[in-house]
Amino acid sequence: MELRQLKYFIKAKELLNFTAAAEALNISQSTLSQQIKQLEIELDTPLFNRIGKRITLTEAGALFYSYALQTVNKANSGLTLLKDLGELKTGDLSIGVTYGLRHLLTPALIAFLSDYPGVTVKVYFGTSEELHDKLIGLHLDLVLAFEEIVADENLTYTLLFESPLCLVAALNSPLAAKKEIDLTEIRQLPIVLPAAGYSTRKFVGDIFAKHNIHPKISAEINDIPTLLDLVKSGKWYTILAKTTVAIDKELAIIPINKINMTRRAMIITHQDAYQKKAARYFLERLTVPLSNFGI
């Protein structure tokens, strides 16, 4: 059994198509098929059901996948560890960020790239759900996001800070001058919220359900800048973490009273993955004064 065979198997499992997997791996389909067949012979069991051009995992394939992923991850971690013995002159770093923490990312990114110009950094913005899946699949080295409602035992969470959820309004809104607002008042307002997949959407939905409140949700949008543009029109309101909008001078932030609606911003990493030196050095630069975000 060879490491490349495991990599081929993992890619085929992810795409469920030998042709697409071969293209992604930059090899011929015949090479991919041959190597996976050899792996199945060595394991003495089929890993895929082959139905025409379609493939699906067998029960054995589904069980074997997690072990294959762990093996490849351990090998990659070992390689990264050896590379890290030298100075940080080259390499790469993949970071996932939820929109609400973009202001925290930028200063750290500028400092890191200035200090280590030879390192290539890839930044992916996405929903909490998307970032979680990419981190579990080892496509990201670390994630900056708000804590999930149910933590994943395969991930490690390090607290950055806590931020309350607030009602967000346009500056010309009649509510902009309010010192605070009750959740029951919010149900009378036209609300726009992040779409499913954002942890804030589920968090807010659970709070409403817990208090038997049925808000007037006009739209759910998977792009936060667009959502905030609607709010700035003065016709709608939203509920977001204070840090998400604290430095936007076109918006008013109104605390929600009587209810604990605090979100916890986290550094999230994969428990089984070796943390690159580049990741450690980047996190050392994640020291923006929280007063910048109204905390």
The pLDDT, as a whole number, for residue 85 is 58
What are the CA-CA distances from residue 36 to residues 8, 17, 32, 56 (Å)? 7, 13, 6, 13
**Number of residues assigned to the chain:** 295
The tokens describing 116, both together, are 């280590």
Overall average pLDDT of the 257-280 stretch = 87
* CA angle (249, 96, 5) in 5-degree steps: 165
Q: Which residues contact 120 (CB under 8 A, 6 or more apart)?
A: 91, 92, 93
CB contact at 8 A, 145 and 128: yes
Query: Which residues of the chain form beta strands (DSSP E)?
Result: 48-51, 54-57, 92-97, 120-125, 142-146, 155-170, 190-194, 216-221, 238-241, 251-255, 262-270
The pLDDT, as a whole number, for residue 293 is 57
CATH code: domain 163-263 is 3.40.190.290
CB contact at 8 A, 25 and 7: yes
**Domain residue extents for the chain:** 3-83, 92-160+264-293, 163-263
How does pLDDT run across 204-239, given as a tens digit for each residue?
999 999 999 999 999 999 999 999 999 999 999 999
pTM over 0.85, yes/no: no
CATH 1.10.3720.10, applies to 3-83: no
Q: Which of 80-89, 168-177, 252-261 has the highest mean pLDDT?
A: 168-177
**CA 219/CA 240 separation, integer angstroms:** 15
The pLDDT, as a whole number, for residue 274 is 78
pLDDT bracket for residue 129 (50, 70, 90):
confident
CATH topology identical between 92-160+264-293 and 163-263:
yes
pLDDT bracket for residue 287 (50, 70, 90):
low
CATH fold for the domain made of 92-160+264-293: D-Maltodextrin-Binding Protein; domain 2 (3.40.190)
